[in-house]
Structure 1
Amino acid sequence: MDEQMGNEPFEKINNQIISEFSKTLEMFSLNKTEAQLFVTLYLNEGPMTLDEMKEGLGKSKTAMSYAIRRLLEFNLVERVWQKGIRKDLYEAREDLYKKFMKTYVNRWLESLHRQINNLSEIKENLDESSHQQKISIEHKINEAISFHQSLEEVFAKIKKNDFL
């Protein structure tokens, strides 16, 4: 009982860290469960099973399974092996900053490139509306393309400058 009471302040601090850190990770397009799971794995001293994750976060095993698959897709966690343990084990990858920035910057660049192409296609396919309307719409599309290209340049510089 005394040991359990001694863990309460640590558990409270751990929960606060998970809560605050996961808010930051949600800005990188992780949902709340994925962010909380990543932080839990990151803070844990060793790899965890889905059952341990489920117990630690108070979520269903299905939710943990989905979240771990997404984190694997983003290359933020890895499956590890330990002798004598038959269940899958997972742990957070090292180089936290580089992993998140690489994922984030690449997703932004892909999205920006797609938007520039889509806007250019819309511009090319403008129908024969009145000349004045067409000029106004083309101007707005050009502004939107320019905006996306500016963002693309910023993210390309971040990627190029070896932050990743």
Structure 2
Amino acid sequence: MKDNETLNKTRNVVIDAIAQNMNLYGITPSAGRLYGLLFFSDKPLTLDDMKEELGMSKTSMSNSVRSLLDLNMVEKVWVKGERKDLYTIKEDWYQCFFDFFSIKWRTAITTNSSAMEKSIAHLQELVDDPDTSDEIREHAQKDIKKLEERMEYYEWQNRLIDSFETREILNFIPIEKDKE
């Protein structure tokens, strides 16, 4: 009995750490606990299994699973004879890392780039307008330069994300550390 208690305590320490760390990445602690539960599970779990184990509401459980599915961290699996949806973690943690950051970064890049492109167009109109004062024109030109430099950064970030998606990054930082 004491061994089982020790096993559960050590698992809970890891699950709590995962929940805290996922919170840093914008994932709710409840989704982090759910991920930790699935990590230690020897079999795929239903929403009811997870709800019973974690004591979460059905809505919270459903939202957490959906969030983890959207980030490609868990997957729905099929088991013969089982009518309910079953879930398990994706075992390739490297791919989960690539997927998570690719999804999050692409969203941020798209949002920021779109706003900057629109701003550059409006600022260029100011620069081209003969009625714009020299002072405003000068500020607009400086802003355009800053925004264009930032756009170069986003282009670099897109190439980095591409290297995650193609796994080309592993040519530079292999999964297994070279043994010397």
TM-score relative to the length of structure 2 = 0.74
> Does the C-alpha gap of structure 1 residues 62 and 158 become closer, same or farther in structure 2, counting only changes over 3 Å?
closer
Could you tell me which runs of 5 or more consecutive residues in structure 2 were left unpaired when the two chains were aligned.
127-131, 171-180
The residue that corresponds to 2:94 in the other structure is 97
State which of 140, 148, 159 in structure 2 corresponds to 1:142: 148
Over the aligned positions, Cα root-mean-square deviation in angstroms equals 2.4
Larger RCO: 1 or 2 (CA < 8 Å, sep 6+) = 1
SS at match of 1:91: strand
Q: How does 1:11-90 map to 2 (within 5 A)?
A: 11-90=8-87
Kindly provide the amino acid, as one letter, of the partner of residue 117 in structure 1.
Answer: S
Runs of 4+ aligned residues of structure 1 deviating over 4 Å after TM superposition are: none
Q: Distance in 2 between matches of 1:112 and 1:48?
A: 35
Q: Distance in 1 between matches of 2:163 and 2:94?
A: 17
State which of 131, 145, 152 in structure 1 corresponds to 2:158: 152
Q: CA deviation at 1:135?
A: 1.9
The residue that corresponds to 2:139 in the other structure is 133
Could you tell me which runs of 5 or more consecutive residues in structure 1 were left unpaired when the two chains were aligned.
none
SS at match of 1:66: helix
| 8 Å CA contact retained: 2:51, 2:58 | yes
| 8 Å CA contact retained: 2:74, 2:87 | yes
Of all paired residues, the percent bearing the same amino acid is 28
The residue that corresponds to 1:119 in the other structure is 116
Q: Distance in 1 between matches of 2:35 and 2:28?
A: 11
